[in-house]
Every structure is written in C-alpha cells, then in structure tokens.
Amino acid sequence: MFPDDDLEYIIDGELADEGLNIFDGKAFLFDFETGDFVYKNGAPVLLEGKEALKAWIEKCIRTVKYRAIVHSNLEYGPQIDDLIGSVLPTDFVKAEIEREITEALLRNPFITSVVDFSFEVEGSRLIANLTVNSTYDDEVLEVNT
C-alpha cells in the first residue's frame, strides 16, 4: 500500500538521480509565517519561472537535510541545525553555513551560482544574505534568511 524507502523518480522517461531535487520551474506559494500554503478560490496558488525558483530557494534553505521523511531519500536542504547555538568559532560557523547553503542550492539545475554571502547578527539570530544567479535571466535573486 505504501511505497518502500527505495523511491525511484522518473523525469522525462529517465530514472532520476536519487540526489536530484525535483524542480520543474513550478512551485506552490507557501506562507512561512502561517506555516501553510496560500490558497485562492479554494486552490493553492501556483508560481512559475523565477517566482517559483524564489519559493524553492526559501523552502530549500529552511528545510533541514534528512529531517523530514518526505525528503529522506533526497539531498535536499542544508544541514546547519547542529551549527545553530554551537560554541564553535563564529567564522567557522559562517563558513560552514555558506558551504552547506551553496551545496544545497546548486543541486537545482536552474541555479548557476551562489555568491556574495554576508552575515548580520540580530540579537541571538545570525542572518545570512546571499545572491543567487539563475538560468532565467541576468537578474540576481537577493535572499535573506
């Protein structure tokens, strides 16, 4: 009745890589403040193109790798939860966050580069700012997490 843990993904008739993040240029709008999808006329709001990629980026960065069962077979999201609140040197933590986020985002074939990381401290929060270049056009996507 339920699929086993060895899920196979088929894209365009080809068996997909287990580590592939399935992104086809579309995504549903998700409100991270309410923790739910956004609906209009009873249906989830569908995003396409660059707006869908922005939504995918935010979801990817907010998803802790391997934590959710739905993503257990995918290399999806950065693994930075063990760095948050650690006693490790701040420069090391920043470098690891940058590496993890960059690796997670570059798994998406629509993303060509992740650059210009900077960090801000707001109380006990470390906020990462970065630029994502994509295949959609020359316009860069500014991301604040």
Note whether 144 and 57 are within 8 A (CB): no
Q: Which residue has the higher pLDDT, 36 or 4?
A: 36
CATH T-level assignment (fold) for domain 10-144: Nuclear Transport Factor 2; Chain: A, (3.10.450)
pLDDT for residue 48: 92
Domain ranges of the chain: 10-144
pLDDT for residue 138: 58
Lowest mean pLDDT among 15-19, 53-57, 92-96, 104-108: 15-19
Note whether 97 and 103 are within 8 A (CB): no
92-100's contacts with Cβ under 8 Å and 24+ in sequence apart are: 93/126, 94/119, 94/126, 97/126, 97/128, 98/128, 98/130
From its phi and psi, is residue 49 left (phi > 0), alpha (psi between -120 and 50) or beta? left
Give CA separation, 76 vs 88, 119, 136, in Å.
24, 23, 21
